[in-house]
Structure 1
């Protein structure tokens, strides 16, 4: 299967070829018309008209093809150049053959092929041009006024203004201008591609840096979970023993304090478990393919089991299509983190609205908390007291790795709407 040329470059080259084709063939026909009128040349205009109709049809098709989004392979572009060679040869055949001063136009498709196509196709274009030019020596129509020797029958002043001489001058000027213009356009296209390549390389480097940072955070999370697990377990045991030993003292204040301390220790342990799970799923590279509605239903159910004290209103758009998609495990932890943030500031009222189309899902998480902080909140900054913003950083980064994004909006009720736009890797996309 032939390789495909870059979409922007090959389509730009075909568009340029259309302009060159239209300009050069128009110039050739106008030149023949002017010469026919001034020098009383007898040209087969009915045959020329038929060739012109074919040229116009080819030009329209090439322009249509250049604006299509489907890729163009080197053989296809070679076919357009070959059409130029054939149609140009047909025009030359009825307008003097090799005596036509525009015969040097054969160099234009060869130049275009040399720049725009791989070497084998460029050589094929050159060979076809040479064969067509050679054939005109034997099959070209005879137009005596165009022959170089015709100037020998004229005086000196007339020789200087002979039709062939003027035609050769005009041909050199037009061919040079066309080649210069095309090469300039090609150079500009190459410069644009280089800029796009540099931008893509910079984006790729930034993505690798973020992935390294995420891996470092995941490693740190696993290490922190291990290091803090033992001290928390020890503290839990001590608090439980103190609670048992002071149960008969009827010291209500101390009992309440020990209960609060035990609750905070349990919360720390739960947080470490969630952090450990996040680090574990982040390291996994595979995903699970299942119906989109089932995935979101299970995601919300699992989260509500972790936070049963939260009043949750969950709605999935019934008009969303019944499709399957693959979800990376890290996405679950990211969405759970957004739900945790909403529950922390508004445990009595958290609303989740989810809808999806064929290629993207929209998840709205709405709380009734204090709303957005004044000013622009940067990535990784937390609005919660004592928060480090690590969860938000991980959420943004993981969503970004999968083509998604999260945006925060204020609501009229004073709370916050966190909107997640997540591209869906559907089965059709995977098979393509």
Structure 2
């Protein structure tokens, strides 16, 4: 199955963040409906202001119904677009406009709540969508300046001046309530929206770093494949020449020369095997050259092959794969384990420990050594290219390749320093990525 592209993943991340923000808008709208119900009842029955209660509650009912539809949309979909968020805000602007029309228009102190919709748009939407919301809110404000239903405010006893003071006092109280309400909602909800956006930005940065590292791996793979092709011919020529030398009487009659030549031939065969492995794994990780086996047998054979070619004082190997499962093994996975084992052997030539066990749906492989452990700065940047304490060209790429191959399979690689000394590199691989597939694509 093809892996998703960077553009697809980034788009999916934006839609996931929009989904979280839609839930915040739903919660905000629910609070707004509740607050408006309380405000309308207080104004009508405590302050004695004559209000068109039926029409106002019809608008509130429509707003509550819209919220239920938005909640249903939130639950049945995994991705919400920016256009949908803009429509939600525009519907809120429309509902606020209808309520203000019925309650004094631009003279209503709660008209400043338009600013809350603009603030939410500025945080949630792109530039064009923000200006659309600003234009619609401004147009509604202008419309309400001339077209609205006047409020009938009690307190008309006494002089006209006293009546005006009463209206002005109510207007100031309304402005205060509107300000406090908007300030609280901005602090609470915009803060939560900002946290969602920061989490999205952090994830996007991680994705970009991952794609850059994988591109680095691809380039190195192409270089390695090209080098392997170039090395194939001279290695084959050397093999033929050494075979001819072994038949020469002067060499065949000299046990010392024959022994050295046999050792050279073995090392040459090993070089040819390494080149063949590079060519085998230079294509898809699950491509040609894969072998059907079981997980336990694959680990046993890989560790045994590594032990034969690398001198180490003591190898402590324990595998508990119960129940064992059929898998597809390939050169890439063998190279991953060999790289980690080689690093452990370099740090601790006298001891390397390997444990493998099945935990739920994962196989956890721990490779430990008795060396000095990882420096703190290397642990912080573990798996980054050229992150090595070895002062030689190209060092630090082995673990970088290990981390990327394991991550391609959906697993993780963690390095820790052991309390008793030495270090452990722990590979966690999901069994579904290794399990042998039937012809219909299902697991065996």
Q: TM-score, normalised by structure 1?
A: 0.61
What are the equivalent positions in structure 2 for 1:238-387 lying under 5 Å apart?
Answer: 238=245, 241=248, 242-246=250-254, 255=255, 257-258=256-257, 260-285=259-284, 287-288=286-287, 294=293, 296=295, 299=298, 303=302, 317-319=321-323, 329-335=331-337, 353=356, 355=358, 358=361, 360-364=362-366, 371-376=369-374
- Structure 2 match to 1:144: 152
Change in Cα spacing, 1:31 to 1:321, as seen in structure 2 (3 Å) is: farther
Match of 1:400 among 397, 401, 404: 404
From 64, 77, 82, the equivalent of 2:85 is: 77
CA apart distance, 1:230 = 4.0
Residue number in structure 2 paired with 1:250: none
Alignment of 1:106-255 (within 5 A): 106=114, 108-109=116-117, 112-113=120-121, 116-117=124-125, 143-145=151-153, 155-156=160-161, 158-162=163-167, 165-166=171-172, 169-170=175-176, 173=179, 177=183, 197-198=204-205, 200-220=207-227, 222-224=229-231, 226-227=233-234, 230-231=237-238, 234-235=241-242, 237-238=244-245, 241=248, 242-246=250-254, 255=255
Q: How much does 1:275 deviate?
A: 1.7
Distance 1:21 1:290, change over 3 A: farther
**What 5-or-longer segments of structure 2 have no aligned partner?**
1-10, 310-314
For the residues of structure 2 that align with 1:189 and 1:381, how far apart are their CA atoms?
32
Corresponding position of 2:6: none
Say if 1:239 and 1:261, in contact at 8 Å, map to a contact too. no
Change in 2 beyond 3 A, CA 1:198/1:421? closer
Tell me if structure 1 keeps the 8 A contact 2:290–2:330.
no
Matching of residue 13 in structure 1 with residue 21 in structure 2 = yes
- Name which one, 1 or 2, has greater alpha-carbon Rg: 1
Secondary structure at the aligned position of 1:284 is classed as coil
Residue-pair matches, total:
406
**1:95–1:143 Cα contact (<8 Å) kept:** yes
**Alpha carbons of structure 1 residues 409 and 230: separation in structure 2 relative to 1, 3 Å:** farther
Please state how far the C-alpha of 1:272 moved relative to its aligned partner: 0.4
Answer yes or no: is the 8 Å Cα contact 1:7–1:71 preserved in 2: yes
Q: 1:172 to 1:306 in 2, by over 3 A?
A: closer
The SS at the match of 2:48 is: coil
Shift of 1:276: 0.2
> What secondary structure sits across from 1:162 in the alignment?
helix
What residue in structure 1 maps to residue 429 of structure 2? 422
- Alpha carbons of structure 1 residues 82 and 292: separation in structure 2 relative to 1, 3 Å: farther
Deviates more, 1:127-136 or 1:312-321: 127-136
CA distance in 2, matches of 1:65, 1:294: 46
Change (3 A) 1:104 1:154: farther
Distance 1:409 1:191 in 2: 29
Local SS of the residue matching 1:353: strand
Cα gap change, 1:99 to 1:301, in 2 (>3 Å): same
Q: Unaligned regions of 5+ residues in structure 1, if any?
A: 247-254
1:419 to partner: Cα distance: 3.9
**Cα 1:133–1:23 shift into 2, 3 Å:** farther
On the 8 A contact 1:36/1:42 being kept in 2, the answer is: yes
* CA distance in structure 1 between the aligned counterparts of 2:399 and 2:418, rounded to whole angstroms: 21
> 1:265 Cα shift?
1.4
1:190 Cα deviation from its structure 2 partner: 6.0
